């Protein structure tokens, strides 16, 4: 059925073709409103994980490191292969704020070890790694 045919049949469908009732003029108004309503459900907020520190290894393989970020003023968190998270604790006199511009690790044996290796920032600061801590999601 084409749109023109539909429009020609519309008065008949609405009962407007018959004679008007006594006292009526026979004119009726048909208002067509087009409206689009989009309902967007609110997504629940993602759960925020709290991390618990567990004893970590003395050394980690440099090949395991996939990324790093500063977590607070004395820690650098390392993202390792296998979606593991490791925290490198820096010395107290070494604020991690110096490392916001980036940092690098230098190792001769392709391992990064606590109390041996140094994290160097791109602005010239260097800090020894005190220890590594495994970060695991806190169970509630």
Can you give the pLDDT at residue 18? 53
**How is the chain split into domains, by residue range?**
51-137
Question: What residues form DSSP beta bridges with 137?
Answer: 51
Can you give the pLDDT at residue 53? 92
Sign of CA dihedral 79, 82, 85, 87: negative
How crowded is the C-beta side of 138, counted as CA atoms within 13 Å? Answer: 8
**Phi, psi torsion values for 101, nearest 5 degrees:** -80, -5
Query: What does the pLDDT profile of the chain (140 residues) look like in tens digits?
Result: 566 766 676 666 666 555 555 555 666 666 667 777 777 777 887 777 788 999 999 999 988 988 888 877 788 889 999 989 999 998 777 765 566 667 777 778 889 999 998 888 777 778 889 999 999 988 66
- In the chain, the largest separation of any two C-alpha atoms, in whole Å, equals 104
Residue range 91-110, pLDDT digits in tens: 777 765 566 667 777 778 88
Query: Where does residue 115 fall: left (phi above 0), alpha (psi -120 to 50 degrees), or beta otherwise?
Result: left
Look-up of token digits 């006292």 = 23
Helices then strands (H, E): number in the chain? Answer: 1, 9
Q: How far apart are CA 135 and CA 140, in angstroms?
A: 15
Tokens (6 digits) for 30: 């048909």
Residue 78 near residue 89, CB atoms below 8 Å? no
Can you give the pLDDT at residue 22? 59
């Amino acid at each position: 059925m084409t749109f023109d045919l539909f429009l020609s049949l519309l008065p008949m469908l609405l009962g407007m073709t018959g004679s008007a009732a006594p006292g009526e003029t026979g004119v009726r108004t048909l208002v067509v409103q087009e409206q689009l309503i989009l309902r967007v459900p609110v997504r629940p907020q993602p759960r925020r994980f709290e991390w618990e520190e567990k004893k970590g290894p003395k050394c980690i393989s440099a090949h395991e490191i996939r990324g790093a970020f500063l977590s607070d003023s004395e820690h650098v968190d390392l993202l390792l292969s296998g979606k593991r998270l490791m925290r490198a604790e820096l010395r107290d006199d070494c604020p991690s704020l110096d490392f916001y511009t980036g940092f690098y690790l230098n190792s001769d044996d392709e391992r990064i070890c606590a109390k041996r290796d140094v994290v160097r920032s791109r602005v010239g600061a260097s800090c020894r790694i005190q220890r590594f801590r495994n970060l695991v999601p806190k169970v509630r």
